[in-house]
Amino acid sequence: MDTAVLLYAPALDAVAAAWRGDGDADVPPHLVLAHPFLAADAVDVGVEEELRWFFRGVDGLRVRFGEVQRRDGVLWLLPERPSEVVDLAAALALRWPELAPVEPPVPSVALARGDDAHLDEVARDVQRLLPLDAELVRAGLWVRDGAWAERAVLPLAEPD
């Protein structure tokens, strides 16, 4: 079993839905804060409550996505100023120092997977929509035992 802490970008649902494959359908568009998180058997009610407490102290983020990038057969949507998300992942890692560094190190949202021709088509279509603004208002604790499933919703504070 695998676990992850993900930061949602619900404003990207419609954009991503047009291009994400069946393998991505379980999890909405997101930025990875911690993957892997903790071993699944180490994630208990106490860890869930601590995560809720952690995210209650985090203001929601407004992020502008302005670039697409291709890496390893995946087309990624990158935020213009990723530092807030990087800082949030670092703060999470301060609490749980056993966490591995997030890959890729620049937070990004997976839009599509496939061959070069498919990714070229997606990139052309998405670039017409850029920049895209998104409010990130919640995170989630996810567990994969075959398929991914959300185990805990982690709301952030209202953005100023």
- Full set of structural domains in the chain with CATH: 2-155 (3.90.1140.10)
Average pLDDT, the chain: 89
On the question of pLDDT at 142 being above 60, the answer is yes
Q: What is the pTM of this model?
A: 0.89
Q: What are phi and psi of 33, to 5 degrees?
A: -100, -35
Give the tens place of pLDDT for each residue, 55-100: 999 998 999 999 999 998 999 999 998 888 999 998 999 999 888 7
Distance in angstroms (rounded) separating the CA atoms of residues 50 and 74: 33
Q: What percent of the chain has pLDDT over 90?
A: 56
Exposed (0-12), middle (13-18) or buried (19+): which is 78, by Cβ within 10 Å? middle
pLDDT of residue 146: 86
Per DSSP bridges, beta strands 147-155 and 109-113 are unpaired
The tokens for 60 are: 């929601």
